[in-house]
């Protein structure tokens, strides 16, 4: 029996806010996360903007003793520029997964994540899986890490959740842009029910409470009522 857990480390905590000098401009960068599995695989999720290569390389080295070539898989929860910018650093990785698209060099897998009900795509047995969570974009995915050091399942959910506050104030995620708000509401509840801990797209990780789950269920129920 193994007692080792899968490590999930936030390398950079994301943010999104209006520019202090020009309210028509947003300042945003993603939360960037490293998974070190108990079987020795290194997976990076969401790679900041293209201007962040130096500091990302630095943190991998100083905090984890890793070189870019030590990263085995790159996952971007979706294709927006602040989530994919440094993918170029990780050219030794087996896969680059950008939303539902899985590729290596010019080779593209035949859509393992195309459908919403697709089987989870396994990255390290079933310790780390990628699942479809359409909403913010229709191609969005989340990464689930079983037996995490946070306790139970950690979900790296990208912009399905902007930050923890958007559970109380849903205008935060709807105003951040959503290609399908109904689907996003469903997926938010689904992930909250699956996960003990969630890392959102632009904020700090948080423990998922039953109160949060109840609120997300309420938000889903009240909008589906209106639809009927």
Residue pair 95/74 in contact (Cβ under 8 Å)? The answer is: yes
The least distance separating Zn ion from the CB of residue 191, rounded to whole angstroms, comes to 16
Q: Does 159 bind Zn ion (CB under 5 A)?
A: yes
Q: Does 203 bind Zn ion (CB under 5 A)?
A: no
Task: Round to whole Å and give the CA distance between 124 and 146.
Answer: 10
Nearer to Zn ion, 127 or 159 (CB): 159
SS3 218: helix
As to burial, measured by CB atoms within 10 angstroms (0-12 exposed, 13-18 middle, 19+ buried), residue 4 is exposed
Task: Round to whole Å and give the CA distance between 204 and 13.
Answer: 6
Binding Zn ion (rule: CB under 5 A), the pick from 135, 201, 203, 205 is 201
As to burial, measured by CB atoms within 10 angstroms (0-12 exposed, 13-18 middle, 19+ buried), residue 22 is exposed
The least distance separating Zn ion from the CB of residue 160, rounded to whole angstroms, comes to 10
The least distance separating Zn ion from the CB of residue 228, rounded to whole angstroms, comes to 32
The least distance separating Zn ion from the CB of residue 180, rounded to whole angstroms, comes to 16
Nearer to Zn ion, 41 or 201 (CB): 201
Nearer to Zn ion, 56 or 124 (CB): 56
Residue ranges binding Zn ion (CB under 5 A):
159, 201
């Amino acid at each position: 029996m193994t007692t080792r857990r899968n490590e999930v480390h936030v390398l950079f905590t994301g943010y999104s806010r209006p520019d202090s000098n020009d309210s028509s401009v947003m300042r945003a960068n993603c939360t960037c996360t490293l998974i070190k599995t108990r079987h020795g695989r290194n997976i990076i999720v969401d790679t900041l903007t293209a201007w962040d290569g130096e500091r990302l390389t630095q943190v991998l080295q100083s905090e984890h003793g890793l070189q870019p070539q030590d990263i085995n898989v790159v996952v971007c929860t979706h294709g927006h520029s602040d989530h994919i910018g440094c993918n170029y650093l990780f050219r030794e990785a087996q896969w680059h997964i950008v939303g539902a698209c899985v590729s290596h060099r010019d080779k593209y897998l035949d859509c393992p994540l195309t459908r919403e009900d697709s089987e989870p795509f396994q990255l390290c047995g079933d310790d780390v899986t990628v699942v479809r969570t359409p909403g913010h974009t229709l191609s969005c995915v989340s990464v689930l890490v079983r037996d995490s050091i946070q306790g139970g399942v950690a979900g790296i959910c990208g912009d399905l959740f902007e930050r923890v506050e958007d559970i109380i104030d849903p205008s935060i995620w709807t105003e951040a842009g959503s290609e399908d708000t109904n689907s996003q509401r469903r997926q938010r509840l689904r992930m909250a029910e699956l996960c003990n801990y969630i890392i959102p797209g632009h904020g700090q990780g948080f423990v998922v409470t039953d109160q949060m789950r109840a609120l997300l269920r309420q938000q889903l129920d009240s909008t589906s009522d209106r639809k009927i």
